[in-house]
């Protein structure tokens, strides 16, 4: 391994990388943040920052979301987030949405740490896989975020020629009234802007890459 590292270093002009942390620990990270050398911090977060808020992750045995979906009578757990299944049978998804709906949980210390980085002028962007909107509740804005798996913050009609947009309060009222959300204009299904299996990632996921420069 040392031979290969030396070979690449000499042939490709790759030198020894500059040491960033004086110690590989939380304290070392803290000192780096305070050093003045740390700028344009990018966070990449997932379900782990929200489990302490009471939101289950997807795959933990016993406690994960997929392990507790039997009551929805699904052909297999992942079907609840498949776009084809949703179009044919949206009831299980919206029943689950009532249980996990944004506004029922509070941000964790991790969410507020990301907000602190923003207040200190250090945050470049937060990439999140979560759809719980807790980053927004903590105080981050659309400009701060790339919600890679989408968000409940907005919803859209999935009618072929419609695409009408709806805001969070509209969707919340429908879900907690036990109604399947239908478009006010064309009566097609309205789906929260979360990414289902079979859908593309949000366009912002790709466009924001161009502006990330650390």
Instruction: Write down how long the chain is.
Output: 214
Neighbours of 33 (CB within 10 A): 15
Judge whether 126 is annotated as a binding position.
Answer: no
How many angstroms separate the CA atoms of 44 and 202, rounded?
Answer: 16
Judge whether 38 is annotated as a binding position.
Answer: no
Helix (H, G, I), strand (E, B) or coil at 182: strand
Q: How is 107-145 classified by DSSP, letter by letter?
A: --HHHHHHHHHHHTT-EEEEEE---S-HHHHHT--TTTE
Judge whether 214 is annotated as a binding position.
Answer: no
Judge whether 183 is annotated as a binding position.
Answer: yes
CB 181 within 8 A of CB 175: yes
The catalytic site residues sit at: 149
- Angle subtended by helix axes 168-176 and 91-100, to nearest 10: 110
Local structure of residue 78 (DSSP, 8 states): G
Helix (H, G, I), strand (E, B) or coil at 67: helix
Q: Binding-site residues for Zn(2+), please?
A: 157, 162, 183, 186
Q: Binding-site residues, please?
A: 157, 162, 183, 186
């Amino acid at each position: 391994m040392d031979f290969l590292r030396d070979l690449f270093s000499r042939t490709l002009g790759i030198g020894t990388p500059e040491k960033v942390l004086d110690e590989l620990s939380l304290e070392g990270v803290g000192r780096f943040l305070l050093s003045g050398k740390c700028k344009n911090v990018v966070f990449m977060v997932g379900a782990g920052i929200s489990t302490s808020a009471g939101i289950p992750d997807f795959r933990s045995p016993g406690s994960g979301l997929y392990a507790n979906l039997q009551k929805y009578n699904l052909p297999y757990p992942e079907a609840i987030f498949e776009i084809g299944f949703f179009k044919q049978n949206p009831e299980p998804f919206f029943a689950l949405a009532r249980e996990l709906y944004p506004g029922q949980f509070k941000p964790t210390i991790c969410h507020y740490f990301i907000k602190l980085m923003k207040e200190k002028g250090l945050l470049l962007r937060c990439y999140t896989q979560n759809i719980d909107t807790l980053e927004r509740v903590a105080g981050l804005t659309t400009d701060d975020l790339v919600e890679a798996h989408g968000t409940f913050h907005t919803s859209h009609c999935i009618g072929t020629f419609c695409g009408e947009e709806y805001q969070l309060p509209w969707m919340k009222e429908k879900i907690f009234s036990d109604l399947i959300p239908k478009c006010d204009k064309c009566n097609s299904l309205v789906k929260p802007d979360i990414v289902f299996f079979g859908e593309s990632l949000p366009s912002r996921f790709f466009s924001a890459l161009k502006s990330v420069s650390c």
